[in-house]
Amino acid sequence: MTKKIEEIEKIVIKIAIQIAKTGEGALLVIGDNVNYGKLMNKSFEKLSVFDKGAEKILKGLAVIDGAVIINTKGQLVEYSALIRRVKPYVGFGTRHSAAVTASKKGNISILASEEDRKVKIFKDGKYIMQVDALQKNVERKVSNMSEILESTGVGAIGAIGTAALVPALGISLVPGIIIFGGSYYAIKTILERF
């Protein structure tokens, strides 16, 4: 992925952390291949995540029912979007199910969970990272989270689970961040930077 995608991810993760801290929920999707419909007919001015004041606007749009969709150029494509062909994500609600579905086809879904005040990140249809929005100074680690997103696949750690595998490999996780997918070497290298 390009440097621009990393910058978009940083902005969107930051927005999701702010939303989760307040106890509200939201789903933001970054990608060009999202299958969605509209929950309501509306029109809006072109908006890029890089525009002045965009974070505040996106935060407001994200807490409306449905998903916010941002393309890989950083432009707002849709808000209040209904993700189509959603399959249940066992043990979780509709927003989580929509996040898993929307993250397929090369997209990244970033979900702010109102129930547990965590940010959950999905890539390639897999739950790969969780961030505790209430963890002290977690916003300072957003740049590193984006690096992790761009370095992880959905490999062995995702299949086995970090809780069982991490202690055996000697990886110390960053407080407030749990990684569920990727290769051991990519994760170890990135975590050393924290």
pLDDT in tens, 36-45: 998 888 877 8
**For residue 180, is pLDDT > 60?**
no
Sheet holding 26-30, edge to edge: 36-38, 76-83, 67-70, 26-30, 108-113, 118-123, 126-132, 177-179
**For residue 133, is pLDDT > 70?**
yes
Q: Distance of CA 9 to CAs 39, 93, 150, 171, Å? A: 25, 24, 10, 24
**Average pLDDT, stretch 52-59?**
94
End-to-end CA gap in the chain: 21
**For residue 193, is pLDDT > 70?**
no
Q: 51 CB contacts (<8 Å, ≥6 apart)?
A: none
Who wins on pLDDT, 158 or 179?
A: 179
Quote the pLDDT of residue 129: 82
**Average pLDDT, stretch 57-80?**
94
- 112 forms beta bridges with 26, 119
Provide the mean pLDDT of the chain.
Answer: 78
Level-2 CATH architecture, domain 3-193: 3-Layer(aba) Sandwich (3.40)
Quote the pLDDT of residue 189: 43
**For residue 174, is pLDDT > 60?**
no
Quote the pLDDT of residue 137: 72
- Report the percentage of the chain scoring pLDDT > 70: 70
CA distance 73 to 70: 8
Q: Which two tokens stand for residue 138?
A: 């977690």
- The predicted model scores a pTM of 0.77
- DSSP annotation of 77 reads E
- Domain residue ranges of the chain, discontinuous segments joined by +: 3-193
